[in-house]
Amino acid sequence: MFDAMIRAQRQTTPDGSIVFDATATAQAHRFEPDWFEAAHWLAQGRAQNASGGRGGAIYLDAPFGRCVLRHYRRGGMVARVMGDRYLWTGAERTRGFAEFALLAELHGRGLRVPAPVAARYRRHGAHYRADLITRRIEGASNLAELVARDRCDADVAARVGETVAEFHTAGVFHADLNAHNVLLADDTVWLVDFDRGQIRAPTRDWQLANLARLRRSLLKLGAARDGEPAFDRTCWNPLMAAYERRVESALAQSGAHT
């Protein structure tokens, strides 16, 4: 799955730019701007709405594979004013280009993230709008769906804890680690939606804050329907135990090589 490296190529458009994986399509020299338009795929019967998120993602059955198209949208109070517009501070700092670059780096390291296919921005004066296309994780359910089906047991929790630890020890900060952004497919855990994510020096402060965000998400979804003590016993404690084991193992391996 990680044999093919991402070969990023840039393409100028009348109102912005596109970056894409030149190995992703038959047209290795070009990525059509229409491919970022939901209407283009819906008109061909090649798209359907994706669950979760802020309503800006759709599943594509494209000629270049099964993918997810996400249009970046703001959340919270600022969305009422800015909608889907972001302040322009340079091409590399646009939401789509930054996430494409981070995913390409993580994918190249063998971490379980969706491979990036393409990103674009369209600039309008001091603002821009952005889109991202990534490969779809086939046969996956997100952790929120498992909670709703009462299937977030100790084994699932432990796999999640191990995976989060793998990312954390690699210095990968996920800006919105919640149950919707943790996917499980064939007992394998993936992390998705790395908007505003970073690679930074591993420290306990941000790592524990990441985990606290995930815990709040699970509680909000009703994972503690039998009470928090039961939730801790059957889900959170196994998750944290697996997390700490993986962190300790990584530290021991790091010490062995120094």
Indicate which residues carry an active-site annotation: 176
Ramachandran area for residue 90 (φ above 0: left; ψ -120 to 50: alpha; else beta): left
Give buried/exposed letters for 133-162 (b at 16+ CB in 10 A, else e).
bbbbbeebebbbbbbeeeebebebbbbbbb
Cβ atoms of residues 47 and 100 within 8 Å: no
Sign of CA dihedral 192, 198, 203, 208: negative
Backbone angles phi, psi at 248, to 5 degrees: -60, -40
Give buried/exposed letters for 12-39 (b at 16+ CB in 10 A, else e).
eeeebbbbbbeebbeeeeebebebbebe
Using CA atoms, how far residue 84 sits from 55, 115, 155, 221, in Å, is 12, 24, 39, 26
SS3 184: strand
Q: Which residues face 128 on adjacent strands?
A: 86, 123
> How many C-alpha atoms does 7 have within 13 Å on its Cβ side?
9
